[in-house]
């Protein structure tokens, strides 16, 4: 199945000149959603993944299902104030400002081989921040995975120290 054909392209969203790649059409298509999960499951099935660390919020949609299929833990990374226990946080620069992400301090206790997962790789700042959190908790990052990568934004540069996999790439 050509996953690109299932992802809707929305021009001028969220502002003029931006072409938005909308995965809600992929999520609404049970065969396409299953295909995406099947491909990621096949890739990581024999990699001894202890935890899938998924990034709020669309990363959760795939990350939880993938963790279930791999028989490992699911660890959410969220915005401040959303996790109820003791957390570690990291702040990072966005194009026009700053953002912060948090993880429970004990989320990776005993988990050594971690897959970081999100729906989209754009500039790489979010993934780099999550990698910093995971490394700070003492885990090894097996790979950082995405459903979609916007290669023209060069996001891999910020996470070049890690193996990166994207299911679908857009060059412009």
Active site residues: 58, 95
Start-to-end Cα distance in the chain:
22
Q: Which residues contact 28 (CB under 8 A, 6 or more apart)?
A: none
Rounded to whole angstroms, the Cα distance separating 158 from 79 reads 20
Q: How many CB atoms lie within 10 A of CB 153?
A: 14
| Cα 51 to chain centroid, rounded | 13
92 close to 128: Cβ distance less than 8 angstroms? yes
CA dihedral over 118, 120, 121, 124, signed as positive or negative: negative
């Amino acid at each position: 199945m050509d996953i690109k054909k299932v992802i809707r392209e929305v021009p001028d969203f969220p502002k003029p000149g931006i072409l938005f790649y909308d995965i809600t059409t992929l999520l609404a298509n049970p065969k396409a959603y299953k295909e995406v999960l099947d491909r990621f499951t096949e890739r990581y099935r024999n990699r001894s993944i202890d935890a899938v660390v998924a990034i709020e919020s669309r990363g959760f949609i795939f990350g939880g299902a993938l963790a279930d299929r791999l028989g490992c833990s699911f660890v959410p990374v969220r915005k401040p104030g959303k996790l109820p226990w003791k957390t570690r946080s990291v702040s990072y620069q966005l194009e026009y400002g700053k953002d912060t992400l948090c993880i429970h301090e004990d989320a990776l206790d005993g988990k050594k081989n971690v897959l970081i997962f999100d729906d989209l790789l754009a500039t790489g700042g979010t993934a780099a921040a999550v990698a910093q959190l995971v490394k700070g908790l003492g885990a090894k990052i097996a790979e950082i995975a995405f459903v979609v990568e916007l290669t023209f934004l060069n996001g891999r540069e910020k996470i070049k120290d890690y193996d990166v996999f994207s299911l679908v790439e857009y060059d412009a």
